[in-house]
């Protein structure tokens, strides 16, 4: 028999003789026939849908081995680029704290897709969704069964300041009966907003008060389906990491700023650049109302990264790109004189690739803070601090 020593990036256990075993935890024993004998870090999965549901891949890991997985994901990505750094203890979000999720409905089933399949798991319980989101699963099933959509419906749920924001994609809901059903549902469930998107963009059907999300103490208008950090605890950990990285920098560029998660959390003058028009307008509105020293620029940083004199005037930069990373902006930063960069990433691999570009031009990676806000998934986020030597 061989022993499982770590968990690979896709969630399989890896033995000391190089074999892979699904649903194995560090300390498990792997027999020659592929059977697994649980060890001290193999816990009983809390959810009846595991491992069928694709929403979680690692519920069989205890807290210590899941934290080690998050650290290993970061260390492995850095090592693949010939890099290393101080890796701090991961900040993990608790169960049932996910405030943003995308589910699907089809033929009477509502939930996440099965692992490796488009078939849906009909959710009877969920240990990652915030209770306010999970409470809508059964009512949404009844509503959608009544509306009888002809194709699969995507359901995006976000917990806003005023309650749950619901966006249904693939639902037209034409006619008086459908309109009344939507209004009755939204009112009965106390929704903050209900919107439909049949393919031409979101159309709001219910919004008794303007929907906002509070970021850094500022109420920011929340466009339908706008990006928001998945859990409040994850957001707090990322914000704390950025603050620690930047110190008291008086003038900061927040690149890929979104709605202003970091811009409003900093005690500095901030230039926020973002490509999503709705997010820029929301950020500008919130900054104006709160009289915060944040200016927003509508800018595609893939096609038009900040460079040269645009960058050199800043004491620090926050970089928070999508999963693909920010190769073009990283190259521009590498040629700049910006003294400190806080790089927030949802993909350790693209992070490490971009960091290598920066380190080859004189930056050093001081430390990395892993953040596991998608608990029991293989998705790991992080904040890294880079500085010029």
79 token code pair: 């090592």
Report the length, in residues, of the chain. Answer: 389
Q: Is 325 left (phi over 0), alpha (psi -120 to 50) or beta?
A: left
Report cis status (omega within 30 of 0) of the bond before 143. Answer: no
Cis peptide before 181 (omega within 30 of 0): no
Which residues lie closer than 8 Å to 174 by C-beta, 6 or more apart?
none
Q: What is the DSSP letter of 199?
A: S
Which among 53, 56, 126, 346 is annotated as catalytic? 346
Phi, psi of 242 (to 5 degrees): -65, -45
Whether residue 381 contacts residue 370, with contact meaning beta carbons closer than 8 Å, is answered with yes
53 is catalytic: no
Distance CA 91, CA 66 (A): 11
C-alpha dihedral, 26 to 367 to 235 to 222, nearest 10°: -130
- Distance in angstroms (rounded) separating the CA atoms of residues 224 and 335: 37
In angstroms, the CA 368 to CA 175 distance is 54
Give the number of other CB atoms < 10 A from CB of residue 81: 16
Read off the tokens for 278.
């709705």
Q: What is the DSSP letter of 112?
A: P
Asked whether the beta carbons of 211 and 205 are under 8 A apart, the reply is: no
The C-alpha atoms of residue 343 and residue 383 are separated, in whole angstroms, by 6
Question: 3-class DSSP state for residue 241?
Answer: helix
Chain position carrying tokens 């969920």? 126
Q: What angle do CA 341, 343, 349 make, to 5 degrees?
A: 135
3-state secondary structure 153-203: EEEEEEEECCEEEEEEECCCCCCHHHHHHHHHHHHHHCCCEEEEECCCCCE
Q: What residues are annotated to the active site?
A: 346
């Amino acid at each position: 028999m061989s022993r499982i020593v770590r968990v690979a990036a896709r969630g399989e256990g890896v033995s000391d003789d190089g074999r892979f075993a699904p649903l194995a935890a560090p300390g498990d024993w792997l027999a020659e026939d592929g059977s697994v004998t649980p060890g001290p870090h193999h816990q009983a999965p809390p959810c009846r849908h595991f491992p069928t549901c694709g929403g979680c891949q690692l519920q069989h890991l205890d807290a210590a081995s899941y934290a080690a997985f998050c650290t290993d994901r970061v260390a492995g990505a850095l090592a693949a680029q010939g890099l290393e750094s101080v890796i701090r203890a991961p900040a993990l979000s608790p169960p049932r704290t996910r405030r943003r999720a995308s589910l699907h409905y089809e033929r009477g089933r509502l939930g996440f897709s099965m692992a490796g399949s488009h078939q849906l798991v009909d959710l009877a319980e969920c240990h990652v969704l915030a209770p306010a989101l999970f409470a809508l699963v059964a009512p949404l099933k009844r509503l959608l069964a009544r509306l009888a959509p002809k194709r699969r419906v995507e359901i995006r749920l976000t917990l806003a300041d005023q309650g749950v924001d619901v966006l249904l994609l693939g639902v037209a809901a034409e006619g008086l009966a459908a309109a009344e059903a939507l209004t009755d549902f939204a009112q009965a469930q106390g929704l903050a907003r209900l919107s439909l998107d049949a393919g031409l963009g979101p159309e709001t059907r219910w919004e008794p008060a303007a929907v906002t999300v509070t970021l850094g103490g500022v109420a920011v208008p929340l466009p339908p389906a706008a990006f928001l950090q998945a859990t409040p605890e994850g957001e707090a950990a990322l914000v704390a990491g950025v603050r620690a990285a930047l110190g008291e920098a008086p003038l900061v560029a927040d690149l890929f700023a979104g709605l202003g998660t970091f811009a409003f959390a900093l005690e500095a003058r901030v230039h926020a650049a973002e490509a999503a028009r709705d997010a820029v307008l929301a950020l500008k509105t919130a900054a104006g109302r709160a009289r915060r020293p944040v200016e927003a620029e509508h800018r595609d940083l893939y096609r038009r990264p900040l460079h040269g004199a645009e960058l050199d005037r800043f004491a620090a930069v926050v970089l928070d790109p999508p999963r693909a990373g920010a190769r073009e902006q990283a190259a521009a930063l590498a040629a700049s004189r910006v003294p400190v960069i806080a790089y927030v990433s949802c993909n350790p691999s693209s992070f490490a690739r971009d960091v290598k570009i920066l380190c080859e031009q004189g930056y050093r990676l001081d430390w990395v803070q892993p953040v596991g806000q998608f608990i029991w998934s293989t998705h790991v986020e992080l904040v890294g601090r880079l500085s010029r030597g």
